[in-house]
Amino acid sequence: MSTDVEIRAGIELPAARENIELQTDDGLTLVGELAMPEHGEPVATMVTLHPLPTAGGFMDSHILRKAAARLPALADIAVLRFNFRGVTSPRGTSDGSFGEGVDEQHDLAAAMRFASERGLPNPWLVGWSFGTEVALKYGLQHPVVGAVLLSPPLHRTKDDELSAWAGSGKRLVAVIPELDDFLRPEEARQRFASVPEVEFVAVEDGRHLWVGEQQTRRVLTEIVERLNPAVLPLPTTWPADNLA
């Protein structure tokens, strides 16, 4: 008889995983990974944008790594992760150097081009911290369903770049930790007021880095609620004899 194991950090569920390279318009090669459902086609796609490279952010930042480890199996979601320019992870190092959130627009464009070439359906941008700035500043240039913003600091995003999402027809989901280091719910509501249709989620006891299994599950649930709500609630266990 198979026993079930609790899905926690370090558990990688079955998926079709492929190391990929992205080519930017300014001549760089970025390293990444595409994780797809092991069986059948995905119903939606996460194009992930990781936290600040100069503060240790990379494609394996834990929420993004756990999304790739779990959501292809639990939610039929394709997860595309990559290192921004100049960033190193166990997957390798992307060409170039940190672009202050400006040159990274080319990295986003390369990821979206890859998603289009592969025919990945219903792409959403999922940015975390610095990654939310890239999503907000440049996401409207691409055919995305919308963007999920995890812990957006709104340091680099100009007011007009944010307000441009109003009436764009693209969904915008702001997931704001109650105890965030940079932007807490009260101030965030004021900053996002220029986008009346924003889906605003204030997470009680949430923190910028979303540490711990409870916060991880909350964040992944908020993502899946937009990309494939029919599968909720997400399972918390998995058969031990069917692990990756």
Question: Is 201 within the bounds of a domain?
Answer: yes
**Mean pLDDT for all residues in the chain:** 97
- Tell whether the model's pLDDT for residue 1 goes beyond 80: no
Q: What is the DSSP letter of 52?
A: -
- Tell whether the model's pLDDT for residue 113 goes beyond 90: yes
Q: Could you tell me if 199 and 172 are in contact, meaning their C-beta atoms sit under 8 angstroms apart? A: yes
Predicted pLDDT of residue 243: 87
Over range 205-232, report the average pLDDT. 98
Q: Enter the pTM of the model.
A: 0.97
Q: What is the DSSP letter of 241?
A: G
Q: For a pLDDT cut of 70, what percent of the chain falls above it?
A: 99
How would residue 242 be classed by pLDDT, with cut points 50, 70 and 90?
confident
Question: Is 136 within the bounds of a domain?
Answer: yes
The pair of structure tokens assigned to 38 is 């092991």
Split into its structural domains, the chain has a count of 1
Over range 95-105, report the average pLDDT. 98
Phi, psi of 127 (to 5 degrees): -105, 150
The pair of structure tokens assigned to 88 is 């190193």
Q: Which domain holds residue 222?
A: 24-227
Q: Could you tell me if 139 and 168 are in contact, meaning their C-beta atoms sit under 8 angstroms apart? A: no
4-59 pLDDT, tens digit each: 999 999 999 999 999 999 999 999 999 999 999 999 999 999 999 999 999 999 99
Buried b (16+ CB within 10 A) or exposed e, 195-229: beebbebbbeebebbbeeeebbbbbbebbbbbbbe
Question: Is 139 within the bounds of a domain?
Answer: yes
Phi, psi of 89 (to 5 degrees): -145, 180
3-state helix, strand, coil in the chain (%, to 5): 30, 25, 45
Q: Whole-angstrom Cα distance, residue 170 to residue 135?
A: 12
Question: Is 82 within the bounds of a domain?
Answer: yes
Question: Is 130 within the bounds of a domain?
Answer: yes
Over range 146-151, report the average pLDDT. 98
Q: Whole-angstrom Cα distance, residue 67 to residue 35?
A: 9
Question: Is 7 within the bounds of a domain?
Answer: no
Question: Is 5 within the bounds of a domain?
Answer: no
Q: Could you tell me if 170 and 145 are in contact, meaning their C-beta atoms sit under 8 angstroms apart? A: yes
Nearest residue to 244 via CA among 125, 70, 42: 70
- Tell whether the model's pLDDT for residue 98 goes beyond 80: yes
CATH number (domain holding residue 176): 3.40.50.1820
Q: Could you tell me if 42 and 36 are in contact, meaning their C-beta atoms sit under 8 angstroms apart? A: yes
User: For residue 189, what are the contacts with CB-CB under 8 A and spacing of at least 6?
Assistant: 200
Q: Whole-angstrom Cα distance, residue 95 to residue 93?
A: 6
The pair of structure tokens assigned to 147 is 């963007």
Q: Could you tell me if 162 and 138 are in contact, meaning their C-beta atoms sit under 8 angstroms apart? A: no
Predicted pLDDT of residue 9: 94
Question: Is 138 within the bounds of a domain?
Answer: yes
135-147 pLDDT, tens digit each: 999 999 999 999 9
Predicted pLDDT of residue 244: 58
177-200 pLDDT, tens digit each: 999 999 999 999 999 999 999 999
